[in-house]
């Protein structure tokens, strides 16, 4: 009688490297698609932000009868101080072109 032989099937190093290479190629093919979607989302966000600015300027004009002005000491972005609580908006002329954004 022969002793029972154990044949354990395992992946070889070559098979694992081939699978890793295939996954890397697929990720490389999908990366530009994700980048395009991200760029489209940024464009959509920018358009929505512009619409909000136009709406804010129109609301300011409706409330105060004049357009908001930017002063020389206005600081935009994260560089602003906590004492600067006023909201400054760039002067945007109201035209049919701006309202259709």
* Model confidence pLDDT, tens digit, residues 64-73: 999 988 777 7
Tokens of 52: 């909000």
Dihedral sign for Cα atoms in the order 47, 90, 88, 81 = positive
pLDDT of 100: 43
Residues in the chain predicted with pLDDT less than 50, given as ranges, are: 82, 84-85, 89, 94-101
Domain extent listing, the chain:
13-99
pLDDT of 58: 95
CA distance 91 to 82: 23
Apex CA 14: angle with CA 13 and CA 19, to 5°? 100
pLDDT of 44: 97
């Amino acid at each position: 009688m022969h002793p029972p032989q154990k044949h354990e099937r395992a992946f070889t190093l070559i098979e694992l490297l081939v699978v890793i290479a295939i996954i890397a190629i697929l990720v490389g093919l999908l990366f530009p698609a994700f980048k395009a979607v991200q760029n489209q989302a940024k464009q959509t966000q920018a358009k929505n932000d512009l619409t909000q600015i136009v709406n804010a300027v129109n609301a300011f004009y409706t409330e105060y009868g004049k357009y908001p002005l930017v002063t020389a000491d206005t600081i935009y972005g994260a560089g602003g101080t906590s004492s600067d609580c006023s909201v400054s908006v760039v002067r945007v002329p109201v035209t049919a072109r701006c309202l259709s954004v």
